[in-house]
Copies of this chain bind each other. A is one copy, B any other.
């Protein structure tokens, strides 16, 4: 062991701290596995004065991140600062210098992934991002390597721990959205500004990354149809449960008829499905492939130590490759499957209406659905003095038709309010045959 692999760490928040802590305890075993020790030689931080209490010599810290990237004694750049700027600039510079990069930055990868893959390919170095999706759960590598011989049909994930925590509280304890969110913030799961989480944007970034790998295409965060959980109420959670469903924020990527549906939204899924029992802040990804069948991966999707573990797994891969002067498998985008607009989605819908409580209203509502070609599967009606709650679950319908139905209902004077519109997925979980035709989900 005469060689040392030297790491330049960009960022030293919870993830960067996790990386340093894990290396301090596991360094010897890691060295034995690689055949050379991993040593952090530089750490870029914003605030040099802060004492982080980390098991590393304080001389490694600097507030000049670019200097870390460019340092002669840095073989691998690990970027765990997050955000697109200046992270993007630093990562691009590293690749330009021929230095492999490991990142946990989903935002960066989801928005600029394709350019970064190209830059890494051009430089002939590794660019790895296992930690960017679902923390410690190995999912990038399984999609890119383990399932490389298979045809993936669908990837469905619970990819955001904050929203899963909130939905778990709402579903199990009947907690209101605002209260559950405050609870998540108090526990440190949710940021002071929770928009990225509750608005579905964090999950959308991760879904874009998974879709790109699963379908050999270039899907970016902006390509993902995204709805957050802000509109989900405890009332809908309760009604969904009664109907046999659990509401989860799902990232869904699936291919049908040569088009790729990629979307994130609160979803009613059958309570019997394994994803429905993924509780609290846990993440999970369900994959369906032609030969492998159904696979599920679950675990902690965030946190400094779990994410640090994933970062180090990648760093070890990169180190092994460096020692052999090769690079790992690259992302391919040879299929470039066109995207399906959300209006063309075919799925089931849950619509809750606040209606006038008088005879004939259901008939009128049903007529509107029928007129737009949306067939009704289930109706639930509950009176409350002068108004009533009417819950309608449709059969599989086209999103555009459902939207037209709802637009018309909004103008009907018997309908006070369209209180909730949610998608119901059960067909997405049914097994398709190798031709992708039978029992498909229409997304």
Contacts and interface: CB of A to CB of B under 8 A. Distances in A.
A308 interface: yes
Contacts of A34: 148
Contact of A326 (B145, B316, B326, B434): B326
A199 interface: no
A293 B298 contact: no
**Can you tell how many copies of this chain the complex includes?**
2
A9 to B, nearest CB: 14
A150 B216 contact: no
A63 interface: no
A149 B292 CA distance: 27
A306 interface: yes
Interface stretch (A25-33, A204-212, A243-251): A25-33
Contact of A315 (B149, B151, B434): B149
A274 B277 CA distance: 8
Contact of A141 (B142, B151, B305): B142
B141 A145 contact: yes
Nearest to A26: B151
Contact of A313 (B22, B138, B147): B147
A229 to B, nearest CB: 24
Contacts of A148: 30, 33-34, 312-313, 316-317
A300 interface: yes
Category for how many chain A residues contact B: 35 or more
A324 interface: yes
Contacts of A326: 324, 326
Contacts of A18: 291
A48 to B, nearest CB: 26
B149 A316 contact: yes
B299 A298 contact: no
A294 interface: yes
B149 A309 contact: yes
B150 A295 contact: no
B298 A22 contact: no
Interface stretch (A257-265, A327-335, A354-362): A327-335
The 7 closest A-B pairs by CB, nearest first: A149-B312, A136-B292, A138-B146, A291-B309, A295-B299, A291-B305, A292-B309
23 contacts: A22-B149, A22-B150, A29-B151, A29-B216, A30-B149, A32-B335, A141-B141, A145-B316, A146-B313, A147-B309, A147-B313, A149-B311, A150-B309, A274-B277, A291-B305, A291-B306, A291-B309, A295-B297, A295-B299, A296-B297, A296-B299, A317-B329, A324-B327
Given A26-B150, A146-B310, A274-B298, 18 more contacts: A23-B149, A25-B434, A26-B290, A33-B148, A136-B150, A136-B289, A141-B141, A141-B146, A149-B312, A149-B313, A149-B316, A291-B305, A291-B306, A292-B305, A293-B306, A295-B299, A324-B324, A324-B327
